[in-house]
Amino acid sequence: MSTVEELKLRVRELENELIRCRQKCSGAEQPVREKIHTMSSEVVDSNPYSRLMALKRMGIVQDYEKIRSYTVAVVGVGGVGSVTAEMLTRCGIGKLLLFDYDRVELANMNRLFFQPHQAGMSKVEAAEHTLRNINPDVTFETHDYNITTLDNFNHFMERISHGGLEEGSPVDLILSCVDNFEARIAINTACNELGQVWMESGVSENAVSGHIQLIIPGETACFSCAPPLVVAANIDEKTLKREGVCAASLPTTMGVVAGILVQNVLKYLLKFGVVSHYLGYNAMQDFFPKMSMRPNPHCDHSHCRRQQDEYQRREAEQPREEVVEVEEEVVHEENDWGIEVVSEVTEEELKESSGPVPDLPEGITVAYTLPAQKDSAEGAMVQETDESLEELMARMKQI
């Protein structure tokens, strides 16, 4: 029979063990470190920002603290999106909005971020939990829904227009980390309508190539202007699974794509280095094609054409010299796609620094074919994908 003293000792032991478990456990409800109100450059072991603030002393970033004033929306919290969100969290971004409707499965464990004990949880909930523990200074807002349904799309539009760090202000950037065509089209539609800058990312079904792309509505090609060379599994994985097959994926390729995506985000937001318009990654050859694409003046998407008009008007208000330059680069009449390689550097420099223009090397595949060819009332501007891509490549090579 236990005495009162023995029981009291046991209670104290258990209480201490529980405290230790909660401290040790990333699942503890309390954040493990206190919030930090001002980013400091102080070089002490307890400062989670010292290595980031060192970018200022190194002459890379002028005002690193500004990261805290930005809001980024990540759509798709899978293999690329989760790592993207983690990198931004560790960099000390101001606010993250996470959108996903999927659950964590053991089948996701071949990619970074999620852990087996989270199987069954919603991806946004599991992600928020882990990220909040990593950096309690970040503000999180999560939405466990599919943005492609009408109601959710309207809510998505509302949140990206008003969900900034200061409620009511728009987000600064949207990152597409989704794995299907419909979701990309939804993001493209929202961003064209709002004139919202976003970045696309994708990984091929065979897991050995990927890309990132910067889309500035009206200024660079939107997702409807031209198909990207590489996108993730076009067919919903759910459909594939029913047939007993699934897309391949690797933590390496997805980690590289998330890394180059968030690097591009940091360069864009904090204004350093050269922000890439399109950067591909072919893992088989370690080949990284780079290019820029102008918007298609005949783009299907009316808001894209409107953004193009507005961009042209803004450009026309610039000093005369620049206007001339723009006119010189006008799209050739025979260019069915209305796409051309745009370079801020000379063609020689581009060749020097970018490697060759891609001619669909092994591992890069066209992920989908375009909708059936249009009635040529407006002029046949859309041809079969295969042929047009070859033509595009041929033209690019001639430049």
Integer angstrom CA distances of residue 150 from 40, 70, 146, 156, 228: 44, 28, 10, 10, 25
For a second copy, the closer of residues 5 and 317 by Cβ is 5
Tokens representing 121 are: 């949880």
For a second copy, the closer of residues 29 and 378 by Cβ is 29
For a second copy, the closer of residues 52 and 124 by Cβ is 52
Catalytic site residue 191?
A: no
CB-based contacts of 229, cutoff 8 Å, min separation 6 = 211, 280, 358, 360, 364, 366, 389
3-state secondary structure of 19: helix
Minimal distance in Å, beta carbon 241 to a second copy? 5
For a second copy, the closer of residues 13 and 309 by Cβ is 13
Nearest 5°: phi and psi at 302? -60, -40
Contact, 217 vs 197, CB < 8 A? Answer: yes
Q: Which of 91, 177, 191, 246 is catalytic?
A: 246
Minimal distance in Å, beta carbon 381 to a second copy? 30
Minimal distance in Å, beta carbon 259 to a second copy? 4
Minimal distance in Å, beta carbon 63 to a second copy? 15
Integer angstrom CA distances of residue 23 from 20, 30, 136, 314: 5, 9, 15, 55
CB neighbours (10 Å) of residue 8? 11
Report d(CA 59, CA 270) in Å as an integer: 13
For a second copy, the closer of residues 2 and 376 by Cβ is 2
Minimal distance in Å, beta carbon 166 to a second copy? 25
Q: How open is the CA angle 223-229-235, to the nearest 5 degrees?
A: 75
Residues acting as catalytic residues: 246
